[in-house]
Amino acid sequence: MTSLEFTDQVQKISYSLKPVAMNLTRDADDAKDLVQETLLKALLNKDKFKTGTNLKAWLYTIMRNTFINNYNKITKRNSNIDSTEYFQYFNTDENYITHNGATSDFVVTDINEAIASLSSDYRTPFMMYYIGYKYLEIAEKLQIPIGTVKNRIHIARKELKQALTTYAPGV
C-alpha cells in the first residue's frame, strides 16, 4: 500500500473515530484532541501497519492506548503523596531489623537452601529470570515455549514462598 492510499483510507475512517473518542473522553474538545493525536501517530507509524489487516481496528487500538497513556499521565501528575509520614515508619518493623550479622546469615542460608531444593526444571528458569533474563530470552536459551517458562517461574515462586513462610511478616 502506497503512502497516498494509506492516507486516503485513514482519512475515510477518521470520521468514525470521533464518536469513540467522545465515548472515551466525555468531552468534545478532548475527543477532537484524541482523534488528532491518533491520526498523527497513525501517519507517523504507517510503516508498522501490515497491509491486509484491519486498519480501523489498528486506529482504534492506537486511540485506546493513547487515551490510557494520557489518563495515566494526568493521574500521576495530580497525585501528590505526602511521603513524610511514610518515611517516619520506613524500616521500623521488627521483622526487618537485623540486630546482628548472624540473623542475616541464617536468612541467606535458608533462601539458598530453598532455591537449591527446587527441581532443576524450575530452578533454572527462576534463577535466569532473577539475574535479569527476559521470558523470551529464557525460552530461547532453554528451547522451551514462553508459556512453559512463565509457568515454571510461577511454580518456583510459589514453592519458595511456601518454603520461606517463616519470614513472612504478619502470617
If you write DSSP's letter for every residue of 63-122 in order, what string do you get?
HHHHHHHHHHHHHHHH----HHHHHHSTT--GGG--SSHHHHHHHHHHHHHHHHTS-HHH
Q: What is the largest CA-CA distance in the chain?
A: 72
DSSP state of 132: T
Among the listed residues 22, 16, 23, the one whose alpha carbon sits nearest the alpha carbon of residue 39? 16
How confident is residue 87, by pLDDT bands cut at 50, 70 and 90? low
Domains of the chain from N-terminus onward:
1-85 (1.10.1740.10), 101-170 (1.10.10.10)
Here the cell at position 86 is 511514610
**Tens-digit pLDDT profile for residues 31-62:** 999 999 999 999 999 999 988 899 999 999 99
Q: What is the pLDDT of residue 2?
A: 85
- What whole-number distance in Å separates Cα of residue 106 and Cα of residue 55? 59
Q: What is the pLDDT of residue 67?
A: 93
DSSP state of 170: T
From residue 33, alpha-carbon distances to 27, 58, 95 in Å are 10, 18, 51
Other C-beta atoms closer than 10 Å to the C-beta of 9 total: 15
156 vs 1, residue with greater confidence? 156
Q: Which residue has the cell 532453554?
A: 142
Q: What is the pLDDT of residue 57?
A: 93
